[in-house]
Structure 1
């Protein structure tokens, strides 16, 4: 096996090992899918638009501010809508992506995270 191929395989193995550690170790086994029955629209939107940066467990992947596990304790529904709509710091604006109904659904769900 060529050296470049071995290096690529090693890098892939390390990447998979690191990604498997991004699961729910700090979240007590919680995933956003746990809220699918109570907040179906919000969870579907989150999985499509937010999961990459905020994680399947709301713990965040970008920086401490991307942790949403207790976002409802920090912000009310209107503040959450403003942040999602306009963006802030590393977070992009979703004003041209989501509808007002989408903003309301996401904020209603996220405001329960305390």
Structure 2
């Protein structure tokens, strides 16, 4: 079975721990979002980044889930996770309670 990739690996971001590129924005919060660790087989918020406030998709700081949901629903990585997880996909409604502090 192929290892599931986190958002920063698929999207080519270099704002993660081991490949950290210092910049104005620092490290993407998806990398440090421990309440989502293990969701969809990812590390921290790496496979549920759409639930993390302040992610750096497109090299811009994004808002909360409510503000970015439309863009995220059109994202290739988001749709890849849904496809890979199939019936094991955890919907946002469930994740909202798990991740209240960062949504």
Write 1 or 2 for the structure with the bigger share of helix.
Answer: 1
Give me the TM-score of the superposition, normalised by structure 1. 0.36
TM normalised by structure 2 equals 0.38
Larger Rg: 1
